Every structure is written in C-alpha cells, then in structure tokens.
Amino acid sequence: MTDLSRRSLVGLGMALPLLGHINWANAAPFAATTNTGPTRINYNESPWGPSQAAREAMREGISLCGRYPYDAQYRLIDLFAGEHGLASDQVQVFCGSKLALQHAVMAFTGPRSLVVPEPSYEAPAEAATGQGTQVHSVALDARHAHDIDAMLAADRAAGLIYLCNPNNPTGTVTPREDIERLLARKPAGSVVLVDEAYIHFSDAQSCIDLVKEHPELLVLQTFSKLYGMAGARLGLAIGQAPLLQRLEAFDGQNVAAAPTLLAGLASLQDRQLVRQRKADNARLRDQTIAWLAKRGWRCTASQTNCFMIDMRGPGQAVVERLAEEGVLVGRIWPSWPNWVRVSVGDEQDMQRFRAAFAKVTG
C-alpha cells in the first residue's frame, strides 16, 4: 500500500496524537479546499465548507463558550420546528446525526433486530453488531431503491427499520410512496428511521411531515453535508415527543457547541444556500457522470453528492491506483466489490478526478 493510500485510511482519529506538535500560532488557517495535497473526494464532505454567514456566526459563538448554550440550542430548535410546522418538543439536537443513529439503535433494538438496506451507511449496523443485536441486511432493488417488501418481510418483530434516503453510497432515491407503504405495513411496535443526511441535494420530498401522523417514525437530518459543517458536528432528530424521549435516555439533555449552534442557525436563515449548493453539486456530479458514461462507465443514478461507478472488476484496486495519483475517492462496499464511491467536490477536484481516472483506466 502506498504512503498516500495509507494516509487516506488513517483518518483524523489516528492523527490526533500528533496535534501536540503543531505550533498553532503559526498554523495556516484551514480552508475547505486547498490547492496542495491530495484531492479529497472520499468522505462525502462539502468542498465549500460552512457558508460565509455560518463562519461569521461561529466567530460570534466563541464569546458564548463560557456558558452552556441552551439558549442558542432552543433558538435553533424553534426555528427548525417552526419551518416544518412542528412543536419544539418534536426536534432534538445531536452532536452529529451519527450519534442520533447510534442512540436510536440502543433505544429501539437490543433483543429486537435491526433491518438495514445493503449497501448503505453502515453506522446503524455497526452499532447493532457492537451490542450483539441481530442485523438483517436487505439488498437494494433493481432501481437501487430500498426493497420495501423484502425489508418488511425480513423480521416481523424487528425493533428498528433503517432507511437512508437518498442512500449513501449509491445516491439513489426511494420513492416517497414506498416509504409510506412501509410505514403503513410495518411490524407493530417497530420504529422506522429515515436518515435524510443527503436530502438537501435531491428532489426527494422529506418525510418530516409524516412524523405528525406516525408516532414510530424518526427522521434524521445533518448539517454535515450540504451545509458544509461536518467538522462542527450538528444533527437533528425529528419525531413525536415520546419517541424522542426514548432517545434522550442516552443523551441526557446534551447541548451542542455554541459556535456550531449559531452556525446552524445562520445556515437555516440563509435562503439561497440550499438552492445554490444543490445546483452547483448537481452540475458537477452530472458533468462527471456524463464524462464517465461517454467512456463506457456505468454509474448509479445519484441525486446526492456521491455516486458509484461500476468498475466491472475489483474496485479496491482502482481506489488504490487513484490514491497513487493523488485523488482519494471513497471505498467499496463488500456486497458491491466492483463499485467505487466517488464524492462530488468542486470544479478543480472533479477535473483532477477525471485526469486521474483516465490515467488509471487508460
């Protein structure tokens, strides 16, 4: 394995012990995109980072850091709830939606199983496996949507059914009527979790409105993707109050960081942000997919900031060859070993991806 590809796998967790050696006074300001170093289109992050308004709000938030920022958290909850016609006790804040996912697994499974699509975001299955809960993986259907009937049939006593819409890693959308059908026919007492981490990039309709009529529906959204705040850690859980209270048992009235909360508020208040970034992402994604299609490569019909390419052979080798060219793309999923996930970066990232891809497949 090359040094570059090893670094790509190391991730921040292993880099942390080195931070003690950095002279912060001289450290260059962090930019979401730099012209040096590898092209990072491997974690479905935003190439644009927090919006300008969010950055200013973060600076303002520093002065609030001496106290627990419950006031900012309540303001964020009230704003989001108001925009969706919900009561404030139907929205809960988490330090990233992954935490909410893990708590949902702890709260709603255990002796009862977890049903997940495959391939999909692995965090819920990992949390379930970690606590010894049975996991039923159900392959996506021919459209790369969730196979709702198979998920319903997987375990009529399931504790939690996880849907990811749009799905990571394929970027594909499951039609709203399929999700409504699942809600209507789900096993009694099982909770349905719709993870909408990527909803802002897509034309899919959010399931948030369905929360009002479904006491066992939990919807998660995050500020990590379109809003460009992966490093600030902010996610929201939306559900009826008794359902959220079952999550709270593991969260204990937690509060996110003040700069993060103010940046979340500023992001929601920015009326152009979703429209603008959605359009930029779609243009860059569709251009790249068209370029690949012209050369005979098949991709998933993505509506998000990532897509998968069918390499018609072991995808891992392509990931490693691209890393040697300085382009870090996402990984393969063991159930889809020939497909490689690519995140959508900015113009320059995608140009570099095309050059490297042409070289390693040429």
If one asks whether residue 98 binds ligand PLP (CB under 6 A), the answer comes out as yes
Binding mask 121-160 for ligand PLP (x = CB under 6 A): x---------------------------------------
Specify the amino acid at residue 252: G
**Given 170, 202, 222, 281, the residue binding ligand PLP (CB under 6 A):** 222
For residue 39, what are the β-bridge partners? 327
Residue 118's CB is within 10 A of a number of other CB atoms, namely: 18
If one asks whether residue 117 binds ligand PLP (CB under 6 A), the answer comes out as no
Q: Near ligand PLP by CB under 6 A, which window of 94-102, 138-146, 250-258, 336-344?
A: 94-102
If one asks whether residue 302 binds ligand PLP (CB under 6 A), the answer comes out as no
Q: Near ligand PLP by CB under 6 A, which window of 4-12, 93-101, 202-210, 290-298?
A: 93-101
**Given 58, 135, 164, 173, the residue binding ligand PLP (CB under 6 A):** 164
If one asks whether residue 224 binds ligand PLP (CB under 6 A), the answer comes out as yes
Q: How far is the CB of 63 from ligand PLP (least distance, A)?
A: 25
If one asks whether residue 226 binds ligand PLP (CB under 6 A), the answer comes out as no
If one asks whether residue 230 binds ligand PLP (CB under 6 A), the answer comes out as yes
Place of tokens 């500020």: 223
d(CA 133, CA 335): 20
Q: Looking at beta carbons only, is 202 or 222 nearer to ligand PLP?
A: 222
Q: Looking at beta carbons only, is 121 or 357 nearer to ligand PLP?
A: 121
If one asks whether residue 171 binds ligand PLP (CB under 6 A), the answer comes out as no
Question: Interface with ligand PLP by CB under 6 A: which residues?
Answer: 44, 96-98, 121, 164, 168, 195, 197, 222, 224, 230, 235
